[in-house]
A and B are shown apart, each in its own frame.
Chain A
Amino acid sequence: MKISRESARASEAIDVRRVAASACVLGFLAIAACVSVPDKDRQTYVGPLANGQTLAPDFTLYKSGPDAYLGKRCSTLDCHGQLGRGLRIFSPQGLRAFDASGAGYFPLTSGKDLESDDEKRQNFLSVVGLEPEVMTQVMSNGGADPQKLLLLKKPLLYEGHKGGQVMVDISDPGYKCLASWLQGALDQDACDKSLLVR
């Protein structure tokens, strides 16, 4: 009697282990089932739209206002004029660009030479490339809601910013300059005024 009771207990124990094991396997299967199968038709499109336009903000407009504002207000050597910054701005009164094609690797001196076209282009890439997905979202809505971008959230202090509040609010000429640029109709007057603000 005693033996059979023990064997019964043993077989119970085995059963419990089996159940646990199958539950485990089932669980893994369930998790595996939730992992989506790659969709070969789904892709992220990078490049010009069918009509030849792109979703990137305009570079020519950038050069005639926003670049000077960012250079004046954000780019000092103790702020965004640093190679380690996500938003890295070159400017004549701050950090100068690396140029592998020139006579020296760093041909320009801080505080001396004028801003080169290459520096403006690299600033543009830094601004546009800071948050590529949000930038694309904003641009696909014609530049509506630019406050979605860190580029404006940080200086407005909508989000913590070591550089503090650089723009008073959305009536700030600097804000108007950047927002109107993203909307494709540069407010040149605001951009000019933004350079007078300290």
Chain B
Amino acid sequence: MKATFTLLCFGAALLAIGSCADPVHDLQVKALGGEAPNIPAGDYHRAGQPCTTCHGQYGPATKQFAIGGTIFHGPDKAIGEEGVRVEMIDATGSQRNATTNCVGNFFVPTSDWDPAYPVLVMIRKGAIGRTMNSHIGREGSCNQCHKDPPSFDSPGHISLVPNEDNAPPPQDCPVSPVASLPGAR
């Protein structure tokens, strides 16, 4: 009886230690804040945020992404661009394409792809194509590097057109396609 109790306590302690094994990761998740009002956790949420911080092996989201991110229309405003094809190719030549939804979000689940880095990317919609000259070394979130504003450690958010042309936001989006990104112009 006593032994069982001790074992139980021991197990509980181990679990407790295990659950807070990575305080750095916990802080990174916390720093991203709660869900925006009126946008449920799902395909349209957290546009512009580093998806794999949460959709990675340490959670808190259950669905894991190999790569995920957001494509906006222009470089200044954070308006999602729908229907952009994101083309990715890894070091072994393995390729995946994904298409953005109306807030600009896209992702490739780990169940579908385990890329061998480095990975090259390009984005395409209609006649417009933009290539990232450098490669991705090991980061699954485009938005981890592509933060606002453009600075010494970030090229700014990803945009389909190189210059802001004040195009209207996509219609018929279930949530607002305009992201509130800290630092966006």
Contact = CB atoms under 8 A, between A and B. Distances in A.
> Which 6 residue pairs across A and B have the least CB separation, nearest first?
A111-B155, A106-B152, A78-B139, A93-B134, A96-B152, A79-B137
B138 A79 contact: yes
B123 to A, nearest CB: 14
Interface of B: 91, 117-118, 120, 133-139, 144-145, 150-156
Contacts of B150: 109-112
A163 B152 contact: no
Given A164-B117, A198-B91, A109 B136 contact: no
A63 to B, nearest CB: 20
Nearest to B149: A109
B93 to A, nearest CB: 10
Nearest to B153: A95
Contacts of A110: 150-155
Contact of B137 (A96, A106, A108, A163): A163
11 contacts: A76-B134, A77-B139, A77-B145, A79-B137, A79-B138, A93-B134, A96-B153, A108-B152, A109-B152, A110-B154, A112-B150
Contacts of B133: 93
Contact of B135 (A108, A109, A198): A198
A111 to B, nearest CB: 3
Given A93-B134, A163-B137, A164-B117, A77 B91 contact: no
Nearest to A164: B117
Interface majority SS (helix, strand, loop, mixed), chain B: loop
Interface string A64-101: 00000000100011110100000000000111111000
A195 to B, nearest CB: 12
Contacts of A109: 150-152, 155
Contacts of A108: 152
A110 B135 CA distance: 14
Contacts of B156: 111
B117 A95 contact: no
Given A78-B139, A78-B144, A112 B134 contact: no
A9 B174 CA distance: 95
Contacts of B91: 198
A72 B144 CA distance: 19
Contacts of B117: 164
Contacts of B138: 78-79, 162-163
Nearest to A109: B150
A111 B145 CA distance: 11
Contacts of A98: 152
B120 A77 contact: no
Interface in A169-188: none
Interface string A135-167: 000000000000000000000000000111000
Contact of A198 (B118, B151, B154): B118
A164 B92 CA distance: 14
B153 A77 contact: yes
Contact of A78 (B120, B145, B151): B145
